[in-house]
Structure 1
Amino acid sequence: MNQIAQRTATRITADGARNASLKDLASILESQQERKLDVIAPASRLTVQDGNLVIQGVEPLIQSDGVVTVDGTYRPTDVADDGIADKLKIPGQYLRRMRAEHLSLFDLNVNGWLEREPERRFLVRALRSDAHGGGGEGVARALLSDSYRLIDNFDLLLAALDGIRQSGHAAEVTGCDLTDRRMYVRVESDEVAVQARELLKGYRSPYTGQRGDELPMVSAGFVIRNSEVGAGAFTITPRAVVRVCTNGLTMTEDVMREVHLGGKQEQGVVQWSGATQSKVLELITAKTADAVRTFLSRDYVERKLRKIEETAGRPVANPTHAIEQVTRKLSITGPTKDRILAHFIQGGQITAGGVMQAVTAAAQQIPNADAAHDLEALALPAMHAAAALTA
């Protein structure tokens, strides 16, 4: 019987998902693939009008099933605005204020900086309004360097699943997230589970009330992360899952990484050769297979847990003061800080390990997947910060 707790999807939209199934994620990515448009264009071919990115003078793409119009108007996402700010060296906060309060000034600033370097080339990642290439309109997803190497989520997902299959290990995808910035795929093993009685001693699940002493098991796993829009490298990070509460503990010090950087690309619509794409995907498959063999190893998980237990048992004298100090050090504020304190008290484990559990429990409740994964990655730093208060 599968002991891994299954989460239900909290949100699935046309272009994003939180706690989705593998099937739902694949469906969304496949739909996006049909509408994707990637263009290398000089600044002289780019303008903004009413806050929208306008591409003009780029050759259409002729395909076997028709002609894809490139010229048109593309509405920037927040990620694309971040790229505009970064590439043109416009302060991001100022750019956001202009978009919200003075759109004509937004146009004036962006167009002015584009005009200063007319030959400078950018990669525009966009989604057309439909899959058939008509109109050349849609969404601007990102403005990136022309040397950015494309590793698309759909291709990466298929390659990673192939790597899991090739490893021969019985692992499964237990949840997926997709945002404007990143894709996350959580993989766990029902076969590799390690007892962690010291780590879970006295702990109580804030969701079910079940005690860690009754189910002191931690499963091995990892999370695959990728960004198509410049928000981070392709990574595979080991992740242990506490079965009594499904809290996830990512161990970022052992991350496997592949950066999206390559050589300069030709101007126009980007189309990678089959050989180039094949080499990249073969590397992803190999890295995933390596990750399965490394991170879903009983020895690896036991070694990591024993190391964590050396610090986790240190008592915390004043829960409110400890959470205040830890969250301040890690720049955690607002409702998230309050949620961590509530989980710390509910968990009943007034130790540095209890602080770690409170952070991972709070991460599960955050609707924004990027924020949730960022918070989960702070669980071990939070444990060490709490332990340092008693040193």
Structure 2
Amino acid sequence: MTQQYAERATAVAPTGARNAHLSDLARILEDQQNRKLDVVAPASALRLREGNVHVSGVESLITEDGVTDVDGIYRPTAVADEGIADKLRVPLGYLRRMRAENVPLLDENVNAWLRQDPDRRFMLRAFRGDNGPGMPPAEGVARALLSDSYKLIDNFDMLLAALEGIKQSGHPTRVTGCDLTDRRMHVRVESEAVAVQARELLRGYRSPFNGRSGDDLPMVSAGFVITNSEVGAGAYTITPRAVIQVCRNGLTMTKDVMRSVHLGGKQDEGVISWSGQTQRKTLELIASKTADAVRTFLSREYVAARVSEMEAAAGRPVAEPTKTIEHVTKSLSIGTEAKDTILSHFIRGGQMTAGGVMQAITSTAQTLTDADQAAALEALAIPALTAAAAHG
């Protein structure tokens, strides 16, 4: 697949990338890091006006760099709306309808529930706006409304710590692609030096992208994907991921995921600024866990064992592709649009087996522009293999 690098521009900071290089991701994260504002505030300090979050009465942050005003206007993302709905127990579908059709009613509903418990505290994660020196503050972005016990593990710091852990492991690796959305960061890492043959798994398969044959290149590389969410959409995880070299399909093995949940003690009110010692200990732990995970996942024994498990089911013939894929996609709650692409990729792949269904899932995932949807679909590849083998 060719590189697709895209920024969803806002007045605040670029917030997205798909199949970007590591250097591109690092630049976006560094810029975001400089604009982040994280504050624990009581409900009495929060209001919705014209659909935007207004913060008032929160003490400014004073640092060596100057004074950072917290009070201001923040435009909610879809993720922030989900947090508002969750924390105030407003049905999400209703909140979305109000935002689309009746913003004054949205303001009235949200503000009524905020007034219900004015001392309740929330963590607001935001990006500051910037109109330049001497100008009034620009509208910022409300990224998430979270519990005040949410533990911050920022993407930029976590990425640096994870890369340090990879370095500590001593394994030769390369970052093959990075995604960043409003919800999550995904960083895919591969080691072609750690690869095994998978002739049975790839017998008769050809890449839907370039027509190359799995019989000619029956190799599977070891790898993993690092995922983190700054906005409550998932833990920091390292998930093993095998890579089919002939087509670059990825097979994530979620049963072996290593995770670290973003929960901690209650935060004090005001702007959050962790001490250097606290940050250092957290990042040292991430580096250590990453090194351990790399040593486990980047071994020929581990990859060979997982390939052997897949091969046991992959050879089951699929006599009626349309019915089998209908069954698989329905049982795994895969949407109609993706289902049609999966069937197309299955036919082009030429492997009329349960393994071919698995490959069609992963190759379809590569074509999706939404990185979170792509990762979710790829994670269903091995369950799809099991479902297709059982269906026949």
TM-score (structure 2 length as normaliser): 0.96
Corresponding residue for 1:3?
none
Corresponding residue for 1:29?
29
Cα shift at 1:183: 0.1
Alignment deviations for residues 109-159 of structure 1 (CA, whole Å, 9 cap, x no partner)? 000000000000000000001297962730000000000000000000000
Corresponding residue for 1:15?
15
Amino acid of the structure 1 residue aligned with 2:282: V
Amino acid of the structure 1 residue aligned with 2:94: Y
Corresponding residue for 2:232?
230
Q: Is the 8 A contact 1:52 1:76 kept in 2?
A: yes
Q: Is the 8 A contact 1:183 1:225 kept in 2?
A: yes
Corresponding residue for 2:40?
40
Match of 1:293 among 272, 295, 316: 295
Match of 2:147 among 134, 145, 148: 145
Q: Structure 1 regions of 5+ residues with no counterpart?
A: 1-5
Q: CA RMSD in A?
A: 1.2
Amino acid of the structure 1 residue aligned with 2:263: L
Where in structure 2 are the equivalents of 1:98-109 lying within 5 Å? 98-109=98-109
Q: Is the 8 A contact 1:48 1:54 kept in 2?
A: yes
Q: Is the 8 A contact 1:71 1:136 kept in 2?
A: no
Amino acid of the structure 2 residue aligned with 1:57: G
Cα shift at 1:7: 4.2
Where in structure 2 are the equivalents of 1:338-357 lying within 5 Å? 338-357=340-359
Q: Is the 8 A contact 1:316 1:350 kept in 2?
A: yes
- Which aligned runs of 4 or more in structure 1 are off by greater than 4 angstroms? 131-134
Cα shift at 1:251: 0.3
Match of 1:306 among 302, 308, 313: 308
Cα shift at 1:368: 0.2
SS state of the match for residue 335, structure 1? helix
Q: Rate the CA distance shift 1:12–1:50 in 2: closer, same or farther, 3 A.
A: closer
TM-score (structure 1 length as normaliser): 0.97
Match of 1:158 among 140, 160, 178: 160
Cα distance in 1, alignment partners of residues 176 and 197 from structure 2: 21
Amino acid of the structure 1 residue aligned with 2:236: F
Amino acid of the structure 1 residue aligned with 2:189: V
Where in structure 2 are the equivalents of 1:163-312 lying within 5 Å? 163-312=165-314
Alignment deviations for residues 212-249 of structure 1 (CA, whole Å, 9 cap, x no partner)? 00000000000000000000000000000000000000
SS state of the match for residue 265, structure 1? coil
Cα distance in 2, alignment partners of residues 316 and 89 from structure 1: 46
Cα distance in 2, alignment partners of residues 357 and 174 from structure 1: 19
User: How many residues get paired?
Assistant: 385
Cα distance in 1, alignment partners of residues 272 and 50 from structure 2: 27
Cα distance in 2, alignment partners of residues 263 and 269 from structure 1: 16
Alignment deviations for residues 59-114 of structure 1 (CA, whole Å, 9 cap, x no partner)? 11111121101000000000000000000000000000000000000000000000
Q: Is the 8 A contact 1:53 1:76 kept in 2?
A: yes
Corresponding residue for 1:116?
116
Q: Is the 8 A contact 1:43 1:120 kept in 2?
A: yes
Q: Percent identity?
A: 67
Corresponding residue for 2:57?
57
Cα distance in 2, alignment partners of residues 132 and 230 from structure 1: 31
Alignment deviations for residues 190-231 of structure 1 (CA, whole Å, 9 cap, x no partner)? 200110000000001001111100000000000000000000
Amino acid of the structure 2 residue aligned with 1:139: V
Cα distance in 2, alignment partners of residues 183 and 122 from structure 1: 23
Cα shift at 1:331: 1.0
SS state of the match for residue 8, structure 1? coil
SS state of the match for residue 15, structure 2? coil
Cα distance in 1, alignment partners of residues 194 and 140 from structure 2: 45
Cα shift at 1:344: 0.4
Q: Which moved more, 1:276-285 or 1:20-29?
A: 276-285
SS state of the match for residue 11, structure 1? coil
SS state of the match for residue 29, structure 2? helix
Match of 1:331 among 330, 333, 339: 333
Amino acid of the structure 1 residue aligned with 2:314: A
Alignment deviations for residues 331-365 of structure 1 (CA, whole Å, 9 cap, x no partner)? 11222110000000110101110000000000000
Q: Structure 2 regions of 5+ residues with no counterpart?
A: 9-13
Cα distance in 2, alignment partners of residues 131 and 32 from structure 1: 16
